[in-house]
Structure 1
Amino acid sequence: MNNETKDTRSGIKAYQESMRQETLRRIDDAYNYLIDTHQTVNRSSISRESGVSRVTLNNPAISEHLKKFPEFAPKQNRSDTKSIEELLREQEILKEALKKAQNRSRRLANENQHIKQEYKELNESHQKLLGAYQKLTEDKLIRL
């Protein structure tokens, strides 16, 4: 009878392990789907997509499995703070980039104004030519 109990327990344990693996597979599939479709990744969305309850997702073994994903990885303390000199250097670089962008913007605005003026002059010239062409065709029709 002891062997029967052992066989039954091993069968139950095998079944439970297969269910755990199936749950992990469904969680992985749900995560991949959410990433592929550019949706937010959190416990609720994984629960909804995988069909696994949120309570199950809080299971310690599953929480440990979720830590392999960047969204659930523990946040690391940022002890690598920048020094004041580095921040000032970075600020100067950003100021220089801003000046360059502003200069380029002014230059493009001036160029745009010149192009608009040229367009206006060409349009006026075109209208004059259309008027002259119409007058010539009218004169031609009158002679006929």
Structure 2
Amino acid sequence: MIVQADIQLSPDSLLPSQQFTLGGGSSVRGYRENIRSADNGFRFSVENRFTLRQDENFEPVLQLAPFVDVGAVWNHPDNPNILPEETFLGSIGLGILWQPFPALDLGLYYAEPFVDVGDRTNNLQDEGFHFRVNYRL
């Protein structure tokens, strides 16, 4: 089981590049990358992995990964920027992880959002899909 958490608490208003962001494959899956950002925020994720296939050394080659992601953002009271109404995001989903050879990891995740945000578009991230490729030299 993989449990992850992030938090940012700021006593000041921050520039956009310093703000806490939510959404995307390494945050709250099921939403577009960085769909929400603010001075303060938290994120919590729980993912389990079930091995479907192993190699001759009993290392997982194919896994299913159910998960739940949640997070929220809010601004410092002095920040003049107005946030959209939906500042809490959450999703539940399933990933399939494949390691065709030891140096290459592939992952495809689908997440169903708990909160429907008004600024979704018609790209794969907004439809809840995220793809990951990791190659180790």
Shorter-normalised TM range: under 0.3
Normalised to the residue count of structure 1, the TM-score between the two structures is: 0.18
Query: Which of the pair is proportionally richer in strand?
Result: 2
Larger relative contact order (CA 8 Å, sep ≥ 6): 2
Normalised to the residue count of structure 2, the TM-score between the two structures is: 0.19
